[in-house]
């Protein structure tokens, strides 16, 4: 079978108008939801750069590894843009230390329950894990973990889209934000 020659097309006025409408929609409808805003912006970018539709989808029953990693049909998935406390990590409330890494894992197990998980792969990390945004039913797992204080926005890896959810969790003193703790990336470096 002959390979199809890839041609570069400059977007016409209709494409630019649609892209502008998507950007505007992102600001209007995604004002309080950074994830929704990012989705609109991503659609506009794909339209203008002729990128393929969203990444490969994978769905099934999930086995939870830790607060930001799961196994889906034998494939290791790292949740995009978030970082949860490591399994052995502890947090401190007053003089009491508690297993916040284990609690983050338990929170994810409870959040998903027996629901079908659907993930959209965006990349592969240096350990060979798929990086993905995932949903349990209709709820974004990535957003839920950050908003409920069981993970932080991993800004150096695209997590700025979860910044508003992290701020809300911090203000509500939800999950790990009720404690003092090391950021997961700092804890990994020290241990």
Question: How far is Cα 97 from Cα 90, in angstroms, rounded to an integer?
Answer: 6
Question: How far is Cα 166 from Cα 185, in angstroms, rounded to an integer?
Answer: 16
Q: Rounded to a whole number, what is the distance in angstroms from the first to the last CA of the chain?
A: 53
| Contact criterion met (CB below 8 Å) for 10 and 28 | no
Strand partners, 140: 135
Instruction: Give me the residue label for tokens 């079978």.
Output: 1
Q: How many CB atoms lie within 10 A of CB 122?
A: 16
Residues tagged active-site: 78, 86, 129
């Amino acid at each position: 079978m002959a390979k199809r020659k890839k041609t570069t097309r400059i977007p016409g006025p209709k494409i630019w108008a649609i892209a502008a409408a998507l950007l505007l929609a992102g600001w209007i409808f995604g004002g309080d939801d950074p994830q929704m805003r990012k989705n609109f912006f991503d659609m506009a970018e794909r339209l203008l750069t002729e990128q393929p539709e969203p990444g490969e989808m994978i769905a099934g029953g999930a086995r939870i590894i830790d607060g930001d990693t799961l196994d889906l049909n034998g494939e290791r998935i790292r949740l995009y843009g978030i970082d949860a406390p490591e399994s052995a990590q502890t947090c401190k409330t007053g003089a009491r230390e508690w297993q916040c890494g284990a609690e983050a894992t338990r929170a994810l197990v409870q959040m998903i329950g027996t629901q079908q998980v659907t993930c959209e792969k965006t990349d592969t990390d240096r350990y060979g894990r798929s990086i993905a945004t995932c949903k349990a039913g209709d709820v974004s797992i990535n957003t839920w973990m950050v908003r409920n204080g069981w993970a932080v926005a991993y800004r150096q890896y695209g997590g700025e889209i979860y910044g508003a959810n992290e701020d809300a969790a911090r203000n509500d003193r939800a999950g790990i934000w009720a404690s003092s703790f090391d950021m997961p990336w700092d804890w990994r470096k020290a241990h």
